[in-house]
Chain A
Amino acid sequence: MVDRDPIDDLRAAWGAVTPPPPDCDAQTAALVDDLRAVWNTLEVPESSPNALRLRLQLRARASRLRDRATLAAAASLLIALVVSALHAGSERRPEDQLATHELTEPAAPDVAADPRVRYLAPEVRASMAQDGAVELRHGRVRLLLGGGTTTTTITTTDVQPARTGPEGQ
């Protein structure tokens, strides 16, 4: 014996459901006819396609103006950001720009060629301590700080340490 799926019963019952028949009585049909007759007397107000055309044009113009204003505001913001970044960059202490090589006497060619050291006179005597401080003992050194925006010139004439880096700028 095969079990009958109760869902099949539900499905069969559902299939037997029919929507209510439309009201076909004469009075209701006459009422609907009357309503339709009144509806057909409805006068739609005159409207010209030019009104819509004008509205579309005005909207397009407003949109263009809005786009331009947005673009101008974005450009201003970008310029402000760039100027601000440049300004901040000039004030930043570029410690990584300092020559941190231990210098020998005279300056080793690889140190002199280091792009972070723009000018290193051959007579400079310098050394670097364990904590990274650079001690200048003799000579004149010019370190270019901050990506070329700030130049610091340090002159020493003695073996006494004149400046220590990176703090001593």
Chain B
Amino acid sequence: MNDQRDNDDVLLAGVMAGDSAAFDAWFRRDHPVVWRFAYGIVGHRSEADDLAQDAMLQLHDKLETRDPSHSYGAWRDALVLNLCRDRLRRRATRLRAETGAGEERATRSVQASSAELERADLQAVLARALEQLSERERAAFVLRELEGRTTLHVAAVLEIGESSVRSLLTLARRRLRAVLGERFDPRPAAAREASDG
């Protein structure tokens, strides 16, 4: 943990000093992490592209004002999450304006159709399943279960206690289980057919 923090400090000091190599290394390390988290929250690749670019820009801008006594990773993820929240809010407003009705987030079952699965479009199924979670459940699930962050990290990002994170994760798992049920099978079609006999 401390080694990670030391590495962060050295790299970020280089970025702030205008070191081109440090800038490249920082971008190549953080951009994929930021993109994946943004994708997990907004569920659209093109929006994740935009968000990741904006987030990297904001991270760069705010590096100097960051409190170095706190974890860089949690600070970065919190900033990304805030950007995603803004984006989702704008999207919801736009949808309300377009449809005239705010009937989003009904707990509808995700129809992971066989055609979709046959196309191996499992990522789309996953993204749609994640959309059924509340924003906080989604953030907790993506960070903890999919990205493998610690509960402490997630608690710092969401600014809640660790026990609240565990509760969110439990709720998220239950909801995903209810939404995806038995239909979710990530194995390739050939493997499924072979095992099904």
Which residues on the A side are within 8 Å of B173 (C-beta)?
22-23, 28, 31-32
Kindly state whether residue A88 has any CB partner on chain B within 8 Å: no
Bound: A19/B162 CA distance, A = 10
Which residues on the B side are within 8 Å of A51 (C-beta)?
53
| Cβ-closest chain B residue relative to A41 | B123
Bound: A41/B166 CA distance, A = 26
Bound: A86/B117 CA distance, A = 81
Which residues on the B side are within 8 Å of A10 (C-beta)?
none
Bound: A100/B138 CA distance, A = 85
Kindly state whether residue B107 has any CB partner on chain A within 8 Å: no
- Residue-wise, chain A 4-37 has the 8 Å CB interface mask toward B (1 for contact) of 0000000000000011111100011001101111
User: DSSP majority for the A interface?
Assistant: helix
Checking A32, A36, A44 against B32 with a beta-carbon cut-off of 8 angstroms, the contacting residue is: A44
Which residues on the A side are within 8 Å of B56 (C-beta)?
52
| Cβ-closest chain A residue relative to B59 | A52
Whether A38 contacts B57 in the complex (CB less than 8 A), given A22-B169, A28-B177, comes out as no
Cβ B35 vs Cβ A35 within 8 A: no
Kindly state whether residue A92 has any CB partner on chain B within 8 Å: no
Counting chain B residues whose Cβ lies within 8 A of the other chain, the interface size class is 35 or more
Bound: A21/B57 CA distance, A = 40
Bound: A149/B27 CA distance, A = 66
Checking B28, B125, B145 against A32 with a beta-carbon cut-off of 8 angstroms, the contacting residue is: B145
**Chain A interfacial residues counted at CB < 8 A:** 27
Within B101-128, the residues touching A (CB, 8 Å) are 122-123, 125-126
Checking A42, A47, A55 against B123 with a beta-carbon cut-off of 8 angstroms, the contacting residue is: A42
Cβ B185 vs Cβ A56 within 8 A: no
Which residues on the A side are within 8 Å of B122 (C-beta)?
38, 41
Bound: A71/B185 CA distance, A = 63
Which residues on the B side are within 8 Å of A32 (C-beta)?
145, 173, 176
Cβ A45 vs Cβ B180 within 8 A: no
Which residues on the B side are within 8 Å of A28 (C-beta)?
173-174, 177
Whether A42 contacts B60 in the complex (CB less than 8 A), given A35-B146, A49-B27, comes out as no
Checking A18, A37, A49, A55 against B186 with a beta-carbon cut-off of 8 angstroms, the contacting residue is: A37
Kindly state whether residue B85 has any CB partner on chain A within 8 Å: no
Within B50-87, the residues touching A (CB, 8 Å) are 52-53, 56-57, 60
Cβ A19 vs Cβ B53 within 8 A: no
Cβ A23 vs Cβ B174 within 8 A: yes
Cβ A47 vs Cβ B57 within 8 A: no
Question: How many Å from the CB of A100 to the closest CB on chain B?
Answer: 62
| Cβ-closest chain B residue relative to A53 | B23
| Chain A to chain B contacts (Cβ below 8 Å), 12 pairs | A18-B163, A19-B163, A19-B164, A19-B166, A19-B170, A22-B170, A23-B177, A28-B174, A34-B186, A35-B186, A39-B126, A41-B122
Q: A19-B170, A31-B180 given. 11 additional CB < 8 A pairs?
A: A20-B170, A23-B170, A31-B176, A35-B126, A35-B145, A37-B186, A39-B123, A42-B36, A47-B49, A52-B53, A53-B23
Closest 7 CB pairs of A and B: A49-B27, A44-B32, A19-B163, A39-B146, A38-B122, A34-B186, A49-B24
Measuring CB to CB, which residues of chain B are less than 8 angstroms from any residue of chain A? 23-24, 27-28, 31-32, 35-36, 39-40, 45, 49, 52-53, 56-57, 60, 122-123, 125-126, 129, 145-146, 163-164, 166-167, 169-170, 173-174, 176-177, 180, 184-186
